[in-house]
Amino acid sequence: MRVERWDVFELSFQGPREGNPFVEQWLCGQFHNRNETVQVQGFYDGEGVYRLRFMPSFEGSYTYQTSGSFPQAESAGSFLVTPAGAGNHGPVRVANGHHFAYEDGTPYYPVGSTCYAWVHQADALRQRTLETLSKGYFNKLRFCVFPKHYIHNLKDPVSFPYEGTPVDASGLTEEDVAYSLEFPGNRWDFTRFQPEHFRRLDRAILQLRDLGIEADLIAMHPYDRWGFSAMDRAADDLYWNYLIARFSAYRNLWWSLANEYDLMQAKTLEDWEHYAALLCEKDPVRHLRSVHNCVEFYDYSRPWVTHCSMQRQDLYRHVEYTDAYRVRYGKPVVWDEIAYEGNLDMGWGNISGQELTRRFWEASLRGGYAGHGETYLDPENDLLWWSHGGELRGESPARLRFLHRILCQTPGLGLRRGEGSFDEVVGVPDAPLYRDGYEIHYYGFGRPSFRTFQKEAGARYRAEVIDTWNMTVEDAGVHAGRFRIPLPGREYMAIRLVREA
């Protein structure tokens, strides 16, 4: 048997169907090669099938032994791990303190989007979402395991995570959306998963992987009419263990404990710390872990948090605090929600493509990262990218792809914010990043007609004018000493200076 490095090595077993296999049976395995020995939990996938998934982190020969609560679980064997193929760089890790790289060392600059409930839509719509994603606008996608109940999200999902029957959704209106801890009309067995719901997630994660997109999986969220946000500790633990066993072997997985954790009134800080401890203990790949706020930031300095997953706390200044949060938390700063391009009635969903793109550039050039969402009203089908996926209509995605292209040109691994150059006192919205003779000065909503630079004696710099909206990079000559770069007096311009060898 052969498997590519960082791919999934999967073993399946026939086992008992009677009783409740989800709680009455267990399966585990140990995988060994010269560089690692890894314990992995298996899971029940319905219809008498048990699975064990493992992601090898090294090339070469592996051996394994499995065991479990039923006789067929006992097995042993070996397999060969071949070099990673094209496009396979391994899981994303934190790099240089505030940045990311794949495990093979390739820098990873997240430019994410959000389609919370795309997995819960019918297959045709899912396929259209994947076609949109194949255009390369984004390399991270946030989405939920549990279905979503919220404005523009009143229909039942195509599958539910548990056996049982949901509350009747007919007759629901947008006015019925409210946060509550009451869930009348539902009948669920929180000890019996519906494997098909999770198979859809399997397929989604793998489809994203094949598009080069990280799956930022949101395990919990408050937009609920079924009670999945208020299960008891035993049900929660069963759920988390199932997620870990089922999904950890996917190299493109990120764990988002929750979206807007602080709206989940049934959960306490102790709960979040408990789930995080389960992940730290049981996820053999040690995928990235965070939790996303609505109002109050989580304490991102907690050791289990690998990166900040932030929602803006202020309408007017947010990504512009990236520098401060880097210092405060000492981790990568990812702004997963900074308002969406769209035209909703709500302020979180109606900014322009220009403004969203500006926020991405501000975040990026201050050494952080940002996330996209799109919320254009669709009177005909009520399908919004932010929840359902489908097609994009906005102006920002192409610009975000352009930003990603620029970020990928950064020499070295990760970006470093220039100290002392960011001059807010005299009111210059000039957010430079530099790294060893490589600088980008971004002027945001400012419209300078020129900018003057003073560089060190003996150095020559190639200058380029970047139009972040029109997506052009124009040569502006080679300069030394004190020099002036003309600009067109429009918003959203940047100047790149690269020291010549």
Applying CB under 8 A, which residues contact a copy of itself? 295, 312, 314-317, 320, 339, 342-348, 350-352, 355, 377, 424-430, 443, 445-452, 489, 491
The least CB distance from residue 58 to a copy of itself, in Å, is: 46
- Considering beta carbons, is residue 425 or 501 the nearer one to a copy of itself? 425
- Considering beta carbons, is residue 129 or 309 the nearer one to a copy of itself? 309
- Considering beta carbons, is residue 58 or 179 the nearer one to a copy of itself? 179
User: Are the C-beta atoms of 394 and 353 separated by less than 8 Å?
Assistant: yes
Can you list the positions of beta strands (E) in 161-307?
162-165, 187-193, 214-220, 253-258, 289-290
**CA separation for the pair 228, 147 (Å, rounded):** 9
| Cβ partners under 8 Å of residue 270, min gap 6 | none
How far from 432 is each of 229, 319, 323, 435, 496, CA to CA, in Å? 42, 14, 12, 10, 9
| Cβ partners under 8 Å of residue 199, min gap 6 | 45
- Considering beta carbons, is residue 214 or 430 the nearer one to a copy of itself? 430
- Considering beta carbons, is residue 237 or 491 the nearer one to a copy of itself? 491
- Considering beta carbons, is residue 72 or 350 the nearer one to a copy of itself? 350
Q: For residue 499, which of 483, 479, 472, 485 has the smallest C-alpha distance?
A: 479
The least CB distance from residue 147 to a copy of itself, in Å, is: 22
The least CB distance from residue 114 to a copy of itself, in Å, is: 15
The least CB distance from residue 392 to a copy of itself, in Å, is: 17
Q: For residue 275, which of 311, 304, 245, 306 has the smallest C-alpha distance?
A: 304
- Considering beta carbons, is residue 249 or 351 the nearer one to a copy of itself? 351
**Helix, strand, or coil (residue 191):** strand
**Helix, strand, or coil (residue 52):** strand
| Cβ partners under 8 Å of residue 321, min gap 6 | none
Query: What amino acid occupies position 479?
Result: H
The least CB distance from residue 245 to a copy of itself, in Å, is: 37
The least CB distance from residue 24 to a copy of itself, in Å, is: 45
The least CB distance from residue 318 to a copy of itself, in Å, is: 8
